[in-house]
Amino acid sequence: MSEEHFYLELCEDPVQFEHASSVNNVFFDEANKQVFAVRSGGATGVVVKGPEDKSSVAFRMDDKGEVKCIKFSIGNKILAVQRTLKSVVCTKNASVLGFCWTSWNEIVFITDQSIEFYQVFPDKRSLKQLKSQSINVNWYQYCPETSVLLLSTTVQGNVLQPLLFKSGTMSKMSKFEIELPVVPKPAKLSLSERDVSMATIYGQLFVMYLKHHSRTASSAGAEVVLYHLPKEGAGKKTHVLKLNTTGKFALNIVDNLVVVHHQSSQTSLIFDIKLKEPDCAVNTHQPVLPARSIHPYRIPLAGPAVVPSQPPVPCQLYSSSWSVFQPDIIISASEGYLWYLQVKLSPTVNLLQDKGKLMDFLLRRRDCKMVILSVCSQILAGGERGSLPVVAVVFDKLNQVYKEYLEAEQTYSAAMEAGPSRGSAAHKRPIRTQAVVDQSDMYTHVLSPFTEGK
């Protein structure tokens, strides 16, 4: 199958660690994006590997029993280890569900009965309680980018209470309710932790709920329902992503795209919440592109017994042993790899026939300039030469982005010349993204071949 078939791939240089085994337990810390390989409860070594080699750490600790959770504070200043359900902080015989570092010396413990927020003094080996809140908790999620902790409360678990941590304070945000497909009678826990995740998309925080197909419903399949979590006001249902199938799913966010992995078909779908469907309600989205598998990945063999000519072994994609973390991380504990998921833009050019929609999609992506210019070449001179209205739509969209950038630049320059005025917010220089295509780009990459061909 050609390279142009795949629009998703695993990064070429994954973080490698000792794979999970009977003597080696593997943990992942979502805040620091670190993998912990803990051998024999830490007695024969703990190796910590992060996204950059400089954050890798190795040490030993006394084996005081099985490790249930292990995390460094921000900046690797302090290590916290949980070994039992009743350890670390316990009140009223509560079970510790977990803990999160919110800064280099601030930690929050989540029990099934309360939230406890502490400041840590490593020199004194002591804790100071900053705030405590009694609340019955089923499970929790933490978003390190926004320092928001999401708690599942009530018997059914579908009333979610967000908490914001900032500069030593813990503040309640407005709680909100997730709509369940079926309300059970008698009431029981119906919202699972594995079906909920938090992510930042286009600079806004969303709670993503994987709503499974109900056998009694006439729906066409599962959906991902997005609830926008504003700083003020309650979470609100804003987008529905139609998966058009059923089964086991996992979610990633890559370049502001929601990527939905489907295990049984071994394919992935991508959604762009800023692309509006003309024939749907405003907040309902179909996949941008046809379902495709992640690009095949081969694991190089290593060790003394390896023959130099031995080919790499194909990696089993969409394995049941894969763990998916936000925003873009896939971990195979059994093989000892942590990958970052990436989007390849060039294959989308031939998969999305509507050139106007294609430009809307590309203009919002990070590394889009060369792909956009290739589309311009294609519609002007390539084998798929576009009609004049198609050319007009593409260039209108490019010009609009360029115009908005120039206007923002002029506003910034005028504000700088005028100097700071009382009560006005500090002006930030507009960022020139790859979506800004100017005359020089267009001449060099698209129009110059016409002059050369004369």
> Would you write out the chain's pLDDT as a tens digit for each of its 454 residues?
666 789 999 998 899 998 999 889 999 999 999 999 998 777 778 899 988 766 678 888 887 888 888 999 988 888 888 887 765 534 446 788 999 999 999 999 999 999 999 999 988 888 899 999 999 999 999 999 999 999 999 999 999 999 999 989 999 999 999 999 888 888 899 999 999 999 999 999 999 999 987 655 566 789 999 999 998 888 899 999 999 999 999 999 999 999 999 999 999 999 999 987 666 555 899 999 999 999 999 887 664 454 566 677 888 899 988 999 999 999 999 889 999 999 999 999 989 888 999 999 999 999 999 999 989 888 887 656 668 888 899 999 999 998 999 999 898 888 888 776 654 566 788 888 888 888 888 888 888 887 776 5
Residue 87 has a pLDDT of 58
Residue 373, SS3? helix
Residue 306 has a pLDDT of 47
Place of tokens 């194909």: 314
Q: Determine if residue 181 is left, alpha or beta; phi over 0 gives left, psi from -120 to 50 gives alpha, anything else beta.
A: alpha
Residue 213 has a pLDDT of 74
Question: What is the spatial distance between Cα 387 and Cα 390, in angstroms, rounded to a whole number?
Answer: 5
Pairing of strands 169-172, 249-254: unpaired
Cite the beta strand spans of 102-147 per DSSP E.
106-111, 114-121, 126-134, 139-143
Residue 393, SS3? helix
Question: What is the spatial distance between Cα 289 and Cα 4, in angstroms, rounded to a whole number?
Answer: 13
Nearest to 107 by CA among 58, 57, 170: 170
Cross-strand bridge partners of residue 329: 325, 340
Residue 219 has a pLDDT of 63
Nearest to 288 by CA among 373, 375, 357: 357
The residues, ordered by sequence, that sit 6+ positions from 243 with a Cβ below 8 Å of its Cβ are 221, 222, 223, 224, 249, 260, 262, 269
Please give the model's pTM, rounded to 2 decimal places.
0.88
> Letter for the amino acid at 123?
D
The alpha helices in 346-438, defined as continuous H runs, are 348-351, 355-363, 369-380, 388-418
Question: What is the spatial distance between Cα 261 and Cα 135, in angstroms, rounded to a whole number?
Answer: 34
Cite the beta strand spans of 167-256 per DSSP E.
169-172, 176-177, 196-201, 204-211, 223-228, 236-242, 249-254
As a whole number of Å, the CA-based R_g of the chain is 25
